[in-house]
Structure 1
Amino acid sequence: MVEKRPKGTPLITVCNHYSCIDDPGLWGVLKWRHLWSATTMRWSPAAHDIAFTRRIYSWFFSSGKCVPIIRGGGVYQHAMDFLLERLGEGHWVHIFPEGKVNMTLETMRLKWGVGRLVYDSLVSPIVLPFYHIGMDRILPNHPPYIPRLGKWVTVVVGEPLDFRAEVQEMRKRNEDPATARRRITDRIQEELGHLRERAEELHGKLMAERGEAWKPMVHARNEGQVGR
């Protein structure tokens, strides 16, 4: 999908966020030409109060095509407008719709920003969901924050989601934008839930084969709910 999609068609990838090393760690599955290309590499929002607190940090993350986003700033902030412009140009945008690193690994309600990116994009994007397990064992969310080698990661990629017909229908009946964003986010949340089940099953089998202890988290009460 990074390079083999219709010319001018934007791509939005979405996944869970379990560790600070998810991005760029997960992009290890890509070819080098994707990682080092300013054209094909993803754009992604990053918390302004973490990734952009110093000049050197700002330079580093901006060079990596990260966009400073204000958590709690709403779906109409400048960073979202910027990402929509990139989608309109046919670029790839990756977003962690949970809005932060999921420290407990429980199912979290998704933020509506991803719904706005899909609904307001001038060109209908391909939405590709995937789910991963094990990144938090490579870089745990507690001190010492040192990457650990020899850990296994399971990644399950879902089928591309096409929202064209759904968006056209919502616009035709003048759907309230907030409702439209919620409907789109609901569908993405549901798909990520299915992918989580598959990923947990596969990861459990892998760990059992290796004789390592592992069990999936109990899904939290927020499953299926979405938020602004």
Structure 2
Amino acid sequence: MRPEEQPASPSLPWRTSSVFTMAAVGLLSRGFLYGLSRTETHGLDGFLKLLDERKDVEGRQRGLVTVSNHVSVLDDPMIWGTLPIRYLFNPDNLRWGLGSYDLCFTNKVLSTFFNLGQVLPTHRSLHSRFGGLFQPTVAQAIRLLSQGPFYSNDSATKANKSFKSPDLSDPFTNGHLTFSTNGTDTFPSPSAYLSRRHSWVHIFPEGKVHQQEDHTMRYFKWGVSRLILESEPCPDVVPMWIEGPQEVMHESREFPRFLPRPLRDVSITFGEKLDVEKVFGDLRARWKRLHQRDVGSGPEGKPEMGVLSSALKYADEAVELRKECTMLIRNAVLNVRRQRGWPDEDPKGGLVETYREEGARKTEGQMKDGSWIKDT
């Protein structure tokens, strides 16, 4: 896509539908939190100040990444019900999330709903050979956090037009504003629009719901490190801590499982914005040196953001950078956990080996350590 081809925003019908979808879900979440639950927030004023500073899209200087623990299938969208109503009607200043392809994008109705709700179709490695941290959706998230124009051949090669197909595009715009998650499907490319530059992306790096009485976390997956290392410039990062939604939708719940339980205590804590230059500056400098040595050039001599060579994917130095970055992000969330009065975790809690030992091959249900896991 040439710079002059990058449109300012999606079509008016699409924007209107997105406003309705985001606002309706936000209002339902807010009604449940403050009408049927006992909800408290910490640090919300500081976070709202940050959102206010980002309200003018043209004035944004960097993207925003929020990252938190994951304790229930309702965490997103429930936690965003803490935002005051006036924020819920401005999708350009609301979060983009990552949703499971095989749960949220199985047909056109669901695909339309979740696309309008600013959810990116994400393949899970346990369920799809297209999963992993190098899938096209992660590239879309990196571009949302950055500023275009971007150079790529995202258009799908073979769109399936059946009703059961998840394929979707904005019917009021040109077809080149799409991307494919597997080479054959079609989804709107959110990063194609100027109004989405330096967006807000929320991520649950545990990748699974984890419910444990002592409120420990699973290890973090490396995808979050790509958002920090590869976005330009480095996005703002706000760690969060969530407590209570696990009581609203505990994995041990019985009939009716689909109904959230009211009258539970819910607590959402927004940590302070990290000093990203201090925390991630050295890692990003090392990544840029590695990138400059290895990456090829795209059209007009510019590298293709979010697309990596084999060396940048698998070289020992690249892997080590992702490990270090992911652990720094996990520690930031642990700091917010500590502010809520919880004692320090066993250091083994951040290691994938710990969960391989305790869970063996089991991917859902109750684990040997007493925790409950849900693949989301």
Give the TM-score range, shorter chain.
Answer: 0.7 to 0.9
TM-score normalised according to structure 1 size: 0.83
| Alignment partners' CA distance in 1, 2:132 and 2:81 | 31
Is 1:95 paired with 2:153?
no
1:84 aligned partner, one-letter code = I
Q: Which residue does the alignment assign to 2:134?
A: 76
Paired AA for residue 210 in structure 2: N
Distance 1:200 1:38, change over 3 A: same
Matched letter for residue 335 of structure 2: H
Quote the offset at 1:22 in angstroms.
0.6
Tell whether the 8 Å contact from 1:156 to 1:198 is kept in structure 2 after alignment: no
* 2:337 aligned with 1:196: yes
User: Structure 1 residues 39, 220: closer, same or farther in 2, change over 3 A?
Assistant: same
Structure 1 residue 14: Cα displacement: 0.3
Deviation readout 1:118-148 (Å, 9 max, x if unpaired): 1000221001001011011122223322112
Deviates more, 1:163-172 or 1:16-25: 163-172
Listed as ranges, the matches of 1:1-228 within 5 Å are 1-5=50-54, 7-72=60-125, 73-88=131-146, 89-104=197-212, 106-141=216-251, 142-143=253-254, 144-164=257-277, 165-171=281-287, 174=290, 176-199=317-340, 201=342, 222-225=348-351
Q: Deviations over 1:24-74 (max 9, x none)?
A: 110011122322212111111111111112322211111100001112222
Q: What residue ranges of structure 2 are gaps of 5+ in the alignment?
A: 1-49, 126-130, 147-196, 292-316, 354-376
Percent of pairs with identical residues: 32
Decide whether the 8 Å contact of 1:182 with 1:226 is kept in 2. no
Greater Cα offset, 25-34 or 43-52 = 25-34
1:170 Cα deviation after fit: 1.7
Cα 1:53–1:103, aligned 2, differ >3 Å: closer, same or farther? farther
Q: The residue matched to 1:149 in structure 2 has which SS?
A: coil
Partner of residue 204, structure 1: none
Q: Which amino acid aligns with 2:264?
A: K
Point out the more displaced range, 60-69 or 185-194.
185-194
Q: Give distance in 1, aligned partners of 2:282 and 2:136.
A: 26
Judged with a 3 Å threshold, the aligned counterparts in structure 2 of structure 1 residues 39 and 139 are, in CA distance, closer, same or farther, namely: same
CA contact (8 A) 1:154 1:199 kept: no
Query: Which is worse superposed, 49-58 or 115-124?
Result: 49-58
Q: Which moved more, 1:103-112 or 1:11-20?
A: 103-112
1:176-205 per-position Cα deviation (integer Å, ceiling 9, x unaligned): 22222211111111122222233355xxxx
Which residue identity does 1:81 align to in structure 2?
Answer: A
Q: Please list every run of at least 4 consecutive aligned residues from structure 1 whose deviation after the TM superposition is greater than 3 angstroms.
A: 103-106, 171-175, 218-222
**Structure 2: how far apart are the matches of 1:186 and 1:221?**
11
CA distance in 1 between partners of 2:262 and 2:333 (Å): 27
Secondary structure of the 2:209 match is coil
State the TM-score, normalizing by the size of structure 2.
Answer: 0.52
State the secondary structure of the residue aligned to 1:182: helix
Structure 1 unaligned blocks of 5 or more: 202-215
Secondary structure of 1:156 counterpart? strand
Contact kept, 8 Å, 1:186 with 1:225, in 2: the verdict is no
SS in 1 for 2:121: strand
- Confirm or deny: 8 A CA contact 1:16 1:132 kept in the other structure: yes
- What's the RMSD between the two structures over aligned residues? 2.4
Please state whether the residue corresponding to 2:65 is helix, strand or coil. Answer: strand
Aligned equivalents of 1:20, 1:109: Cα separation in 2:
18
Equivalent pairs counted in the alignment come to 212
CA distance in 1, matches of 2:288, 2:101: 36
In structure 2, give the amino acid aligned to 1:182.
K
- State which structure, 1 or 2, has the greater radius of gyration over its C-alpha atoms: 2
Q: Which amino acid aligns with 1:3?
A: D
More displaced 10-residue stretch of structure 1: 65-74 or 100-109: 100-109
